[in-house]
Structure 1
Amino acid sequence: MTGWTPPPPGDTREQLAALKRQIAEALAGHVGSKAFLAKGREWDHARSVWYSQADAALAVIQAAYVPPPPGSDRDKLPDHLLAVAAPHMPPYTSAAHQMADALEAAAADHPDMAGELHAWADRQRAACRTTRKQDMAPCEHPDHQA
């Protein structure tokens, strides 16, 4: 494997399985294993070992590099720091909602692109991080008031 080839868009489980297979094949190939080159059920055990190694590698990558899901408190600041900083923090509106508002405003200025701009605005709204990760403050965009 010379570089990571992203799987085609689709089901996240399919993408993860494709990445897992790519890692397993790369690990096996790196040490000279024929597990993924050979055909036949007699190689199933060897392949399962490499898949286990790929699972372990993916777990490390996910823990280190995958951002936490919306609502996670993994990046929350300690309470004693929040108490001091809270009076200085503005109300939270997610970057996704800020971008959605900008796209909607641009649609008024560019009616020829309005359909595409509205579609992207909808995608941005769907991607809202509903809480600020540092203090878990909720997004105060009016979309959440409905």
Structure 2
Amino acid sequence: MKNIGDWGHEYIRQLEKEIIQQWSFTCDTNIKMLMPLINDIINFNCNHHAEIQACDLLMEIDLLHMLSQYMAKNTYQRMCMYLSSCSKYVDEMERTKIMKLTCEQYLKFHEYSRSLIAAIQMNDNEMVNKIFSICKDRSTFYCPK
């Protein structure tokens, strides 16, 4: 099948549920077979205003790092805001992954202030310094000398 979206949103949601249910029982061979389907699902969701479902699927199967390749200029704000909200309800290790992704995406799309907030929430001094060095607009971060 070339376009899984032809079957509609409900079909995609059912596939997501089945993938999540079976993920922990899946061996490496089956994971490799599922990856094209997962990529198709994430791509469909990100192009059809279902970015939150894409985030949820990737968080559930612990492949959140894949999300960065699907974030676009018109979707990253909504996705980052959702991920930041989710970070409050997970353990510290998962929270760090989520906030790092959020910080990097804000930085990628030149939202230095939001990226800085995420870096401060992670207590990542190295990232804070990096953001200050990357941002060349003095009006964004006013620091009197």
One fold, TM greater than 0.5?
no
TM superposition score normalised by structure 1: 0.31
Specify which structure has the bigger relative contact order, considering alpha-carbon pairs within 8 angstroms and separated by 6 or more residues.
Answer: 1
The structure whose Rg is larger is: 1
